[in-house]
Amino acid sequence: MRHAMFAMAGCALVATAAAAQGIPSLTHERYTLDNGLTVILHEDRSTPMVAVNVWYHVGSADEQPGRTGFAHLFEHVMFMGSQHVPVGAFDQWLEAAGANNNGSTSQDRTNYFEWMPSNALPLALWLEADRMGWLLPTMDQAKLDVQRDVVKNERRQRVDNVPYGRAFETMLGAVFPAGHPYSWPTIGSMADLSAASLDDVTQFFRTYYAPNNATLAIAGDFDRDSVKVWVQRYFGEIPRGPAMPARPSLKEVTIPRDTFLVLEDKVQLPRLYYAWPSVKLFHADDASLDLLAYVLAGDKNSRLYKRLVYEMQVAQDVTAFQMSGREGMFMVSVTPKPGQTPARMAQLVNEEIRKLSSQAVSDRELARAQNSYRAQFLDRLASVNGKADQLNSYNYYAGTPDYVRQDAARYDAVTAADIQRVVRDYLGKPKVVLTVVPEGKPDLMVKEMGDVRIP
């Protein structure tokens, strides 16, 4: 038995070494200021560039029904100046130093980032610290109204006035039960955005935008001792915020039976969507589901894309992806060509899913999917901006900033049997089926699946 254990340990080491090949380690130093701010430093002297990346541990999943969209709205408000930075100066001063900046919001976090020549690092740190510690003294109704209108217009451009734009939020609301933190879109609803008051936004900042709810990652060409001095000087005097409220509990989501929905939209062609509840990021099956999505529709030789778009020429496009954060959802979508119906697309998608459940993917398919994900890893690590964001992401979701090799190893360890198993375990369960149809043509809706259960 002891010999067997040593043999297993040896195999694990070989697998880890193979997975780590070609994936650089994100060597780092992580420490915490007295006010609770976590700091992650990663030196990369390959080019005279540096990136600053701040994650606030709050996203749309921390909102309440009736008050959705706050996390994203606040992302915009953070660019409206602070006590020592006039409106518009944040961008102007960074651009004058040759720097770029942006921000983003998800269900789980909000981040702000800058990438710049190394000599502009003190400026970026000071600007981030000023809006973390001294935003509220200049916050007023006029600023809120300006950014509220910007976000509303963004919603119009990305959701309300875009073909198929409301499909994703419709699927979220159908897969996740009412009141579930993932059941509403990050951008929020028009009604909730209109209802947001200055008091609401101020309280949101006081609750979540505190150093003890944030992580600052710095990656690139810098002197470690100097950076520590700057971080302490600019961020150290920001007072610790209150204890963070307990995050909403996320219970396992199940769909009791296939659910069929129809959404009329200003579109020329219908589109079919499937969605299944899946798993969170770094779950044991997360990587297998990622690779399954690639096998289905990840490139022009994938199962669905090759058959529907190239060989049969019945579909305009097909996509598949595993969405994973603190919750997960697996989606497939197909747009039929003129003259083809969503029902026909459903039949073909079901056929391919059944094949994957009964016949293992080929070695070539698996290798192509794994190589694609390895390329994505390397691409994310090609810039200091990408490294800083990965450090923050791994620190947040995996508990350690240097998780990149373990992350890559997950994909290298996936077998054809794993993909076959997750098809059965997840895509073999009840799902949500949404048909987006041209206005006035609800009869195109897919209303039943027929005998499509995976044995």
Euclidean distance between CA atoms 207 and 48, whole angstroms: 37
Burial tier of 252 (Cβ tally within 10 Å: 0-12, 13-18, 19+)? exposed
- Say whether 403 sits in a helix, a strand or coil: coil
Euclidean distance between CA atoms 355 and 347, whole angstroms: 12
- Reading the block at residue 224, the tokens are 């470690």
Number of neighbouring beta carbons within 10 Å of residue 149: 12
Euclidean distance between CA atoms 185 and 382, whole angstroms: 31
Residue 41 is which amino acid?
A: L
- pLDDT at residue 346 is higher than 70: yes
Per-residue model confidence (pLDDT) at position 449: 65
- pLDDT at residue 7 is higher than 50: no
Indicate the pTM of the whole model.
0.91
How is residue 308 annotated by DSSP?
A: I
Per-residue model confidence (pLDDT) at position 244: 86
Strands (E), 278-393: 315-324, 328-336
pLDDT in tens, 157-215: 999 999 999 999 999 999 999 989 999 999 999 999 999 999 988 999 999 999 999 99
Structural domains of the chain sorted by starting position, each given as residue range(s) with its CATH number in brackets: 29-235 (3.30.830.10), 259-444 (3.30.830.10)
Phi, psi dihedrals of residue 52, rounded to the nearest 5°:
-115, 130
The enclosing H or E element of 18 equals: helix 2-20
Q: Which residue has the higher pLDDT, 9 or 68?
A: 68
Buried b (16+ CB within 10 A) or exposed e, 204-240: bbeebbbbbbbbbbbbbbbeeeebeebbeebbeebee
pLDDT in tens, 75-102: 999 999 999 999 999 999 999 999 999 9
Task: Confirm if 59 and 260 have CB atoms less than 8 A apart.
Answer: no
Point out the least confidently predicted range of 191-195, 292-296, 386-390.
191-195
